[in-house]
């Protein structure tokens, strides 16, 4: 890779996280000691509780759950450290070995502890309800309730042990192979060897020819790896089908909906509402085509800014934007976010071998979250920073719920992240007086919302296609994957965007399809929920921030619909999605009016 010039640097090049709150280094004696201690703890736990769950008293069960959380916490600490340090350099064999050790240990522990879940599933329903309703177990009530929903999908202890053991050389191994394949891939652009993330960022550049070259560069390398990536996809699709059959899930999405604590009806209502509004996306891109002054809009033009030049946003400036927006909403929110910068809990530098994308890792409740991203100085990177810090604040606050109830299902996990984006966007919008600048910002936000809501649902439709096709017709060819991708993309964009032949292959680099099948609809769920929440915030600011922070603190301690009901929103109402979609339509209408005003004023 070519060294960046000083003009291209953002100040994020040296923003590396400090993982010492987990372990000092891969060779830290404490890491080795904890790995050995975990095995002993698991053996002692099994010796103490195996065969007792059916007749356990509430106080004994409470004691067992406390010990179980301690085990999960220490195991999570070991696993989090290995995952985080590996993700910054997937090309380092030593870090790959460390990750594999953690995964093998996790599987070994799972095999030792799986009896606990299996025996709990077999407890008589009346006895289970008495335990769940007891005062001694009130702290874990929701965890116990949701865990019982897996009764029909839990196998025997021996079968569960085999499933866990084989996952290390099965699903987990293939996912690691996918990550390392793309992490090591290099993309040639204008004589330079770049990472996937660096080239993807060029698709947001105002220079159309550069976008086109970047598009070609990405496709060329994707094509070079297409045989490998096709095989990985096929293998993981088949692996999920096998698991779903063994666990008695009726469809490919059923296990995801169960873990998201939602139901098929709610998800189907979301999908139908969004696909029913694809016309809004097509209407918007016709406006964007006019604003860009081109006769035809291609897929590599989707994220083009309408401003002719885009200055780099320095890391320090991005930090200030996010912290001010968070702090103005609620001081504690800004204070927590500031800790991520002050204590080096963020890794933002782009570097060879680093995984693409961004995430916030909750790690364990006894430590704190870490934020991972690839900061390239674009305005969208500021929004990504706001997004991941939203997750981070959420995870930081929910730690008080303990290991078993701190995490939220994916559907509400995006609430704080997208709300954080809205805070930054609204702040920037309020500060702008120039109609052209305001339109450019609004266009950027609409682009992001389309990517989060409509594109994610179109990807859900692609997932539905490939899981169904793999189950009904066997292994898919690269061309068959590409055909499903093209058709589901064309359904979204209609005649407003021309899908190039090169773009047909772009299904192959998206990790969510493999790491977390069925994930993508959660983005749309979260974005539309937040649009409704933010609309409520604007109309009733008094007390809203306090209620919102309590929502974050609650983590996963109750059903999502109960938690969100405290904000005056009913996510189980099929008409709920229309509220968020109508707010999106208002954004498109505002952009059309602004563009019309600017055009009229330019003609005077």
Task: Give every CB contact of residue 7 below 8 A, 6+ residues apart in sequence.
Answer: none
According to the 3-state scheme, what is the secondary structure of 70-99?
HHHHHHHHHHHHHHHHHHCCCCCHHHHHHH
The predicted pLDDT at position 604 comes to 46
Pairing status of strand 346-347 against strand 370-372: parallel
**Which of 490, 498, 513, 482 lies closest to 222 in space, CA to CA?**
482
- For residue 104, give every residue at least 6 positions away whose Cβ sits within 8 Å of its Cβ, in sequence order, or none: 168
Handedness of CA 5, 184, 466, 263 (dihedral sign): negative
Residues 62-104: tens digit of each pLDDT: 999 999 999 999 999 999 999 999 999 999 999 999 999 999 9
pLDDT score of 148 more than 70: yes
| Mean pLDDT, rounded, for 456-475 | 98
Please give the model's pTM, rounded to 2 decimal places: 0.87
How much is the pLDDT for 356?
A: 84
At 124-142, the pLDDT tens digits run: 999 999 999 999 999 999 9
Q: What is the mean pLDDT of residues 545-563?
A: 94
Stretch 479-501: mean pLDDT: 98
Residues 598 and 146: their CA atoms lie apart, in Å, by 54
The phi and psi torsions of 11 (rounded to 5 degrees) equal 95, -5
pLDDT class of 269 with cuts at 50, 70, 90: very high
Location of structure tokens 């929910």:
398
Q: Over 296-362, what HEC string results?
A: CCEHHHCCCCCCCCCCCCCHHHHHHHHHHHHHHHCHHHHHHHHHHHHCCCEECCCCCCCCCCCEEEC
- Among 31-40, 182-191, 482-491, 572-581, the range scoring the smallest mean pLDDT is 572-581
Average pLDDT, the chain: 94
Element (H, E) at 192: strand 192-194
Query: Which class does domain 19-169 fall in?
Result: mainly alpha
Q: What is the pLDDT of residue 49?
A: 97
With H, G, I as helix, E, B as strand and everything else as coil, classify residue 464.
Answer: helix
Q: Hey, is 267 helix, strand or coil?
A: helix
Helices (H) and strands (E) in the chain, counts: 26, 5
Q: What is the mean pLDDT of residues 299-315?
A: 86
Mean pLDDT, rounded, for 355-381: 93
Give pLDDT tens digits for 39-49: 999 999 999 99
CA–CA gap between residue 598 and residue 587 (Å, rounded)? 16
Look at 66-75, 209-218, 339-348, 573-582 and tell me which has the smallest mean pLDDT.
573-582
| pLDDT at residue 357, rounded to an integer | 87
Is residue 3 scored above 70 in pLDDT? no
Chain centroid to CA 21: how far?
Answer: 24
Contact between residue 146 and residue 261 where contact means Cβ atoms under 8 Å apart: yes
Tokens, residue 248: 């008695």
Here the tokens at position 543 are 């007390």
For 324, the token pair is 């001010």
CA distance 203 to 412: 30
CA–CA separation, 467 and 244 (whole Å): 11
Task: Kindly state the average pLDDT of the residues 446-475.
Answer: 97
Kindly state the percentage of the chain with pLDDT values over 90.
86
pLDDT single digits (tens) 388-437: 999 999 999 999 999 999 999 988 888 999 999 999 999 888 888 888 88
Contact 181, 225 (CB under 8 A): yes
Is the Cα dihedral 388, 394, 396, 401 positive or negative?
negative
- Reported as a pLDDT band with limits 50, 70 and 90, residue 1 is very low
HEC secondary structure over 123-169: CCHHHHHHHHCCHHHHHHHHHHHHHHCCHHHCCCHHHHHHHHHHHHH
Sign of CA dihedral 407, 411, 412, 415: positive
Percent of the chain with pLDDT over 70: 98
Distance CA 162, CA 156 (A): 10
Q: What pLDDT, in 10s, does the model give residues 223-239?
A: 999 999 999 999 999 99
371 strand-pairing partners: 346, 360
Residue 476 backbone class (left: φ over 0; alpha: ψ -120 to 50; beta: rest): beta
Helix (H, G, I), strand (E, B) or coil at 578: helix
Position 4 confidence tier, pLDDT thresholds 50, 70, 90: low
Q: What pLDDT, on a 0 to 100 scale, did the predictor assign at position 309?
A: 58
Q: 344 versus 441: which is more confidently predicted?
A: 344
Residue 454 is encoded by which pair of tokens? 């409509």
Q: Are strands 192-194 and 187-189 parallel, antiparallel or unpaired?
A: antiparallel
């Amino acid at each position: 890779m070519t060294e960046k010039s000083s003009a291209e640097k953002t100040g994020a090049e040296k923003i590396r996280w400090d993982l010492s709150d987990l372990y000092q280094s891969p060779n830290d004696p404490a890491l080795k000691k904890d790995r050995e201690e975990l095995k002993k703890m698991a053996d002692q736990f099994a010796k103490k509780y195996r065969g007792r769950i059916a007749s356990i008293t509430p106080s004994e069960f409470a004691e067992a759950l406390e010990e179980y959380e301690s085990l999960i916490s220490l195991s999570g600490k070991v696993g989090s450290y290995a995952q985080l340090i590996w993700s910054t350099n997937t090309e380092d064999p030593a870090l790959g070995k460390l990750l594999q050790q953690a995964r093998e240990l996790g599987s070994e522990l799972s095999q030792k502890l799986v009896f606990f879940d299996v025996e709990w599933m077999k407890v008589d329903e009346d006895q289970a309800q008495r335990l769940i309703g007891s005062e001694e177990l009130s702290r874990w009530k929701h965890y116990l309730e949701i865990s019982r929903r897996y009764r029909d999908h839990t196998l025997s202890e021996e079968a569960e042990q085999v499933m866990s053991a084989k996952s290390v050389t099965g699903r987990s191994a293939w996912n690691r192979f996918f990550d390392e394949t793309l992490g090591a891939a290099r993309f040639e652009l204008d004589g330079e060897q770049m990472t996937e993330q660096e080239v993807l960022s060029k698709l947001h550049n105002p220079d159309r020819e550069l976008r086109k070259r970047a598009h070609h560069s990405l496709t060329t390398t994707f094509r070079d790896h297409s045989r490998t990536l096709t095989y990985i996809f096929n293998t993981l699709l088949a692996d999920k089908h096998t698991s779903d059959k063994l666990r008695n899930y009726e469809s490919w999405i059923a296990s995801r909906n169960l873990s998201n604590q939602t139901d098929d009806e709610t998800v189907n209502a979301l999908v139908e509402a969004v696909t029913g509004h694809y016309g809004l996306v097509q209407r918007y891109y016709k406006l964007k085509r006019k604003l860009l002054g081109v006769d035809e809009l291609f897929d590599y033009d989707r994220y083009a800014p309408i401003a002719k030049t885009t200055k780099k946003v320095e890391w320090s400036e991005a930090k200030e934007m996010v912290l001010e927006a968070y702090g103005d909403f609620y001081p504690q929110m800004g204070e927590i976010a500031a800790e991520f910068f002050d204590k080096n809990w963020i890794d933002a530098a782009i570097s060879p071998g680093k995984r693409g994308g961004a995430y916030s890792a909750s790690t364990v409740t006894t430590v704190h979250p870490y934020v991972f991203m690839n900061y390239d100085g674009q305005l969208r990177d500021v929004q990504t920073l706001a997004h991941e810090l939203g997750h981070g604040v959420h995870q930081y606050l929910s730690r008080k719920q303990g290991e078993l109830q701190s995490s939220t299902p994916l559907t509400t996990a995006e609430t704080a992240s997208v709300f954080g984006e809205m805070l930054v966007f609204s702040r920037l919008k309020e500060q702008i007086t120039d109609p052209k600048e305001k339109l450019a910002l609004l266009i950027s936000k609409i682009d992001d919302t389309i990517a989060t809501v409509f594109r994610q649902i179109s990807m859900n439709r692609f997932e539905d296609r490939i899981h169904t096709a793999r189950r009904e017709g066997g292994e898919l060819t690269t061309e068959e994957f590409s055909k499903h991708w093209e058709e589901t993309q064309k359904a979204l964009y209609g005649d407003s965007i021309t899908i190039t032949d090169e773009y047909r292959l772009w299904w192959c680099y998206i990790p969510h399809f493999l790491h977390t099948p069925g994930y993508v609809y959660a983005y749309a769920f979260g974005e539309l929920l937040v649009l409704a929440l933010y609309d409520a915030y604007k109309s009733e600011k008094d007390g809203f921030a306090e209620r919102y922070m309590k929502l974050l603190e609650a983590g996963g301690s109750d059903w999502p619909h109960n938690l969100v009901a405290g904000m005056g929103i009913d996510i189980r109402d099929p008409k709920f999605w229309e509220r968020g979609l109508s707010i999106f339509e208002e954004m498109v209408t505002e952009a059309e009016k602004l563009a019309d005003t600017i055009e009229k004023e330019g003609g005077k």
